[in-house]
Amino acid sequence: MTFSPATIEQNCLLPNSADTPGQRHTEAQTHRGTHTHRGKDTPRQRHTEAQTHRGTDTDRGTHTHTHRGKDTPEAHAHRGTHTPRHRHTETQIHGVTDTRRHRHTEAQTHRGTDTPRHRHTEAHTHTRGKDTPEARAHRGTHTRSHRHTEAQTHRGTGTPSGMMAIPDPPCVVTSPDCPPASTPSSPGPPASTPSTPGPPASIPSSPGPPASMMALPDPPCVVTSPDCPPLGLKSLRVDDSQFQASSYLRMGLGPHRARLNIQSGIEDGDMYDGAWCAKYEDQHQWLQVDALRPTLFTGVILQGRNSIWSWDWVETYKVQLSNDSETWKTCMNGTEEAVFVGSRNEPETPYLALFPQPAVARWIRINPQTWYWNGTICLRAEVLGCPLPDNLDFRHHNYKEMRKLMKAVNEECPRITRIYTIGKSYTGLKLYVMEISDNPGKHELGEPEFRYVAGMHGNEVVGRELVLNLMQYICREFRRGNPRIVRLVTTTRIHLLPSMNPDGYETAFEKGSELAGWALGRYSYEWVDMNHNFPDLNNIMWDAKENDTDMVKTANHYIPIPEYYTKEDAFVTPETRAVISWMQDIPFVLSANLHGGELVVTYPFDCTRDWAPQENTPTADDSFFRWLATVYASTNLVMANPDRRICHSEDFQQHNNIINGGAWHTVPGSMNDFSYMHTNCFEVTVELSCDKFPHASELPTEWENNKESLLVYMEQVHRGIKGVVRDKMTKKGIADAIVKVEDLDHDIRSAADGDYWRLLNPGEYKVTVWAEGYFPSMRRCNVGTEARPTICDFILIKTPRQRMNEILAKGGRLPQDLQLKLRALRLRKLRASTKAINQRRKHSRKARGTRQRLQTD
């Protein structure tokens, strides 16, 4: 990221010290000879150091050196061969081979081993005579492990104190590649908090930086490594719950208002003031931000309070970091605590302060030290930081390794996870599901059910690995207390099926990512494409609507499985049967089917009418399906990249990376269509990557590309309306009540406990609920733009017996939910045929095993 020097300035207030130990580039120092200066030694130029050397020197920079006599800037005496490998290499004298691998290496004289590990190593002189403030005597081994090491006197091994080390996790930081900054000729004292009202001594009344502040080079230093982005305080990516403060004046000036550029209302004192303001005026106040994960923090941007009535800002501050929110370490500048300059003379300009040494932590605190003398402690901020990569198991997992990983996650988070199976593949491999919930194993009233299904095509492996990574990530972030993950787990029951086609995956896995080809492992063991193996309910519904004159009575949901599909000789894979049965057992609300080989999200209907090869075939909920597809595609880092190339031959960017399934190509018998028409569940297909089976080295990138998409898509399960349908007399929930939304020709049903969920876009809806044996009930429900549902409960009154007798006496029929009864009957037949088939296959496998043992003997 690039900050304009016109609006953002870079400041660091240096500690008061004679030799200014925290500056980037060390003053000129004397080496085994005479160091001549005209007056006081305070260099203002960028790289100018007069040094006396005995040995080899080949200067390619802009440095003036004196060698055993008079020298001029244009003439240098050299002995031997010297090959510099950096821009401004200082002269060095070594008794061994000189290898410079950093950018600005100061002159050094050694009689032993010296291992520089920082960017700008101070010059050290090993002399036999008098020591000076600029030159210290060293004997033995000296190891510098921090960025700006001060000259120190040692007899033995010297390890100077540097920037704080944040424990667990360790981090190796590449220092910013930035030219050295010059220093003021006369460093002034650091600013301090005034004991009585009035301006601090070090903050001038006229515009301009205080005397003790580091002089900015011209042009300003632009840090390019590490180039860490904003954490997201300004953009609202950081949630209000991630802020804390030592105190605050009132709710309108709470810590959640400490966002860069946030604007206040017209009136002070309301809920929308323009900053965080501390309740007390002392140096113990702080603003804290939780990054939710280990982050490499590199800097802070500060502003004052936005207000037309008040004039408040922070002038200097310290920064503290923590990995547990209890133990804090202050950002150091050499051996001193770093003090950073904030706002100057007005509250609106943002000021950037880069840390002397980037550091890894999870929590960061801004600790004001001084503030405007006629105001109070108020600030708006942004934090710069690079979130560290998730430490997940990035590799391809075969069946055994998948089971081990799922077991490890369950052992790590036993309170919120449960592993169960929904059936077996043709070869007997179990279809494992990981459930994640705050109450695993139980459907909770009002809590929606969500599922991810991966590996329907066994060779499309990215979805499988993403689902495995997702269960690891949710487990670890829940334990860390990540508010977003905690909220998701406590309000949603999540089901993750990583491998619907384990037989196909094992076939592809044996060949590997490069040798499996385009189709090996795609199909089941019986050579069936499972995404064409579900019952085709689309044409059943369309035929019924064409033949039925009373469109009101035509079913638009919960369509029963056709009779032929329930027979034992039906060509239905055991995996498909298992998933259908799974759909019946759990009242899923939202799902996604993860595929590979393209970069696009498709939504129902997948099957076209009249068997057209390509035709846009929308559902009654087309607008919401488009929203679901857009949510995933727009947050996917690859799909959202306008400069990406097409995968193969089709450019889906012209459709914003989403497309109706039928408009792409017709797919009769898809899981998406079946889920929508046979159950309450809305489902889309996500094509995750151009490469179906990428190399394991690409899996971390795939995770980063899809992590946010996977999370934000799950959160959509909370859109629309939800509620409970109850009996007025007993107060118990009514199962299978029909929930009908006016102008949407697709109904849903209540679950066994009477709770229901209807996914809807924002708007006002007229909703009618009806159940067999009850009078219908109607009410209006408003859906907001927030990702949380509107509660719409219904109370139904039973039809009185007298009214029933009157209907029967007139020869009429009581209304019956025949569709529901037929659906239940067909499901029982399907399960019975599946059981019979599985028993035959089990006996067949045993017989084959016996024959193989006999042949071996």
**pLDDT per residue as tens digits for the range 602-636:** 999 999 988 889 999 999 999 999 999 999 999 99
| Rounded distance between C-alpha atoms, residue 506 and residue 517, angstroms | 14
For residue 575, report the phi and psi dihedrals to the nearest 5 degrees: -65, -40
**pLDDT per residue as tens digits for the range 108-131:** 333 333 433 333 333 333 333 334
Q: In the annotation, is 772 catalytic? A: no
CA atoms within 13 A on the CB side of 814: 17
Q: Judge residue 316's burial from the number of C-beta atoms within 10 Å of its C-beta, 0-12 exposed, 13-18 middle, 19 or more buried.
A: buried
Please give the pLDDT value at position 267.
Answer: 74
Asked whether the CA dihedral 827, 828, 829, 835 is positive or negative, the reply is positive
**pLDDT per residue as tens digits for the range 439-474:** 999 999 999 999 999 999 999 999 999 999 999 999
Q: Is the peptide bond before 340 cis (omega within 30 degrees of 0)?
A: no
Catalytic annotation, pick one of 122, 382, 575, 687: 687
Closest Cα to residue 822, out of 750, 736, 693? 736
Residue pair 421/431 in contact (Cβ under 8 Å)? The answer is yes
Taking only Cα atoms into account, the Rg of the chain, rounded to an integer number of angstroms, comes to 35
Please give the pLDDT value at position 550.
Answer: 53
What does 336-359 look like in DSSP terms, one character per residue?
EE-BEE---SSSSS-EEEEEEEEE
| Rounded distance between C-alpha atoms, residue 102 and residue 108, angstroms | 14
Tell me the residue length of the chain.
857
What does 248-300 look like in DSSP terms, one character per residue?
-SSGGGSGGG-BTT----SSTTSS--BSEE-SS-STT--EEEEEEEEEEEEEE
- Give the residues across from 124 on adjacent strands: 108
Residue pair 628/677 in contact (Cβ under 8 Å)? The answer is no
For residue 721, report the phi and psi dihedrals to the nearest 5 degrees: -125, 155
**pLDDT per residue as tens digits for the range 347-364:** 999 999 999 999 999 999
| Rounded distance between C-alpha atoms, residue 431 and residue 423, angstroms | 6
Average per-residue pLDDT for the chain? 77
Judge whether residue 786 has pLDDT over 70: yes
**pLDDT per residue as tens digits for the range 272-331:** 899 999 999 999 999 999 998 889 999 999 999 999 888 999 999 999 999 888 899 999
What is the percent of the chain with per-residue pLDDT over 70, rounded to a whole number?
A: 71
Query: Which segment, 157-171, 248-262, 831-845, is predicted with the most confidence on average?
Result: 248-262
Judge whether residue 780 has pLDDT over 50: yes
Judge whether residue 403 has pLDDT over 90: yes
- For residue 484, the one-letter residue type is R
Asked whether the CA dihedral 200, 205, 209, 212 is positive or negative, the reply is negative
CA atoms within 13 A on the CB side of 592: 30
Which domains, ranges and CATH numbers included, belong to the chain? Answer: 399-718 (3.40.630.10), 721-798 (2.60.40.1120)
**pLDDT per residue as tens digits for the range 263-276:** 988 776 778 899 99
- How many helices (H) and strands (E) the chain has is answered by 12, 29
